[in-house]
Chain A
């Protein structure tokens, strides 16, 4: 996992079985938001997508790793149950956890450009603070 990037961003890396995403940002919350964008960018081109709805979820997590997994789990859940794809995300601290606000576009309004994520694994799960900010890495089942 690289932590030498400036400001915030994300990328995907090949994995024989599945998909590896990495994200980085100055704060933990921004890093989590960036991980959501990384996950979405792995399978959907949302550039022309219009948000049609929004949802705010509360996440209670004991550790940073739990928070990372829970945020990404939410994306997969929304995809499967509401056929909705996040096109905007804000993560903020909330009492006993995090508040995640997602702007959603319908799945049929985005162009699919990769395999759709189905689960977040604990394999080489990483989230850490560094002098440059926060960075994380996640292996995703597709």
Chain B
């Protein structure tokens, strides 16, 4: 791609039709609600997940506010339990699992492989509707009385003892699960069958590899949790005793089935983040990703091994000791592919031509936070140390480092990176940069103290801790951090929305990036490409040396070049 100068026939072609794109092709609300266009569905998803993220964050804020006092001062215990359950259920099932695949994946996968759409556009729309129906049921259950079983729904509490709307929420998750499955099928078929001529497997951007691996995990894991949660719902509604210990059922079997999905679900959340991360690092280091093949294969290795480690959530659940040993061994092995990725991204920076723009700040933050999140996972994967740390705030801190420090950071980075492509507008760079730093500070302040208080023994899901006041300083730190973090999530919501109206118009390729999505207009036309592209060159075909030379001579001669704002200065002057 880079071998040919930016001004190709394709770009000229794009400019001619800049007026008509997927956003303004049809204006009515109906045209959005019955659209088959993967880009429009991605926008629908973006609006929905942002909404659910907002709701989940409110719950998180309430939790943090309440925990500043060891004896609680706002909520009843029952309400507190409902609030943390709502936080977990919304964030896991309605935000994390969906966010990157359904927003960025939906938008980018066909563009990156050079297809006009996903293989099954109507299935894709159905997926959004299923998600919304599931989300509505879940929110209905949460608002109209609440659910207090935690997002893990351990039986027999959830099936017989919980006195809240467990059943309707389970049905909602069941339906939302099928939304995941349809998206997964769509991505797999699109990756296999819809690649443009010349787009071989090893020319695929790593984001596509990540989405492919994610989809494999989705289609293998989600049905299992769907039927398991359905069994719990049946047990609750009709007294079908599937897991009831009183009748000889096995509550630990539920945990096995639940984690058989829910551990891979962690990879559904983090693999797409890895994909985004590879794109960001390559583009802003202006260099082909180091060890492309190793990153691609480590993605598949994680997806595969990820299915063999679910038992590490159950080391103290009374499963057999030998089982625990095997699960621990595989858990240590699954850490290796993640380490490979971290080292490869770091090595990509070597001899690059690094631009410190907002998405890159998120990407570098990701490396730091994910390294901590991943390594603290070893404390939990090692069975001996797991015994003391599991069910404490240590585990809460660990998975927030992976889920927020990893997945959410990557989502924000990716959103900034592809924002001009999605909306045709640039976001304000200066405030976005400062905000990225704020996310990093707020996040660490929120979750680092939780490692310490967890090691000291503070169990998770505790409303009160008046009997252990030594934990309070850490909770106060954490809550302070949470308010910083909340601010840093509100700010992008505000400036990204504002940029839709006042943002600078983005050129087709404002970053000078490589990849088929940058070969078409911003925003792209409804059919993505006016002509089916043929791929002739390798992926991430940057040339840091030449680019460095060019920018040096450019400074000398004052010819157009890409400045730190990511826009072509010459174009900016013209407009």
A is bound by B:
no
Binding site for B on A (CB under 8 A): none
